[in-house]
Amino acid sequence: MNTEKDFTPLTPNIVRALNDKLYEKRKVAALEIEKLVREFVAQNNSTQIRHVIQILASEFALSQHPHSRKGGLIGLAACSIALGKDSGLYLKELIEPVLTCFNDSDSRLRYYACEALYNIVKVARGAVLPHFNLLFDGLSKLAADPDPNVKSGSELLDRLLKDIVTESNKVVGGASGTASSSKPVKKNDHHTRSS
């Protein structure tokens, strides 16, 4: 990661913490990003919001460095949380870099990607339905993940998506043409261990 680059509006402290190997430091950076994005939302400054998301995606989540990728993922989730109901306006930019991380060779990174996407989807709710096929394809890859934590994370995300599809069907009265009619939400076709 080039520390000479200008990551404005992200402060040098945020950039440093996003790159840190310790989760707690990346979490602190995410809280700062959330605060920053909330300020931009209050100012109705969509240009700066898009810029923050673009930096987090291209310079962090899609970086060659694993800790930077983890920082980018938690940062993108923090953006979604700060945006709240407005996150739907930025979903493509928030979701695509996270889905790319589903293919990472590092199982911890795949888990962090599940966690980030869960938080993004939980905030956006029904606004994610236009992206349903993309989400479904990403989730399908993780259904057979050899890492139990990744598999567990994908199952939580799958349940959340099922709930959202069910909610949307109730809102539209189960009318055809919804995302659920175009592709079924993946079924849990593997056995889970008893607790």
Q: What is the pLDDT of residues 53-111, one digit of tens each?
A: 999 999 999 999 999 999 999 999 999 999 999 999 999 999 999 999 999 999 999 99
Is the confidence at residue 27, as pLDDT, over 90? yes
Q: Domain residues of the chain, as ranges?
A: 12-169
Question: For position 143, what pLDDT does the model report?
Answer: 87
Q: In b/e form, how buried is each residue of 13-27, taking b as 16+ CB within 10 angstroms?
A: ebbebbbbeeeebbe
Q: Hey, what CATH topology would domain 12-169 get?
A: Leucine-rich Repeat Variant (1.25.10)
Whole-model pTM: value is 0.85
Q: What angle do CA 26, 67, 83 make, to 5 degrees?
A: 45
pLDDT given for residue 40 in this prediction: 98
Burial 75-86 (b: 16+ CB within 10 A, else e): bbbbbbbbbeeb
Confidence of residue 177 (pLDDT cuts 50, 70, 90): very low
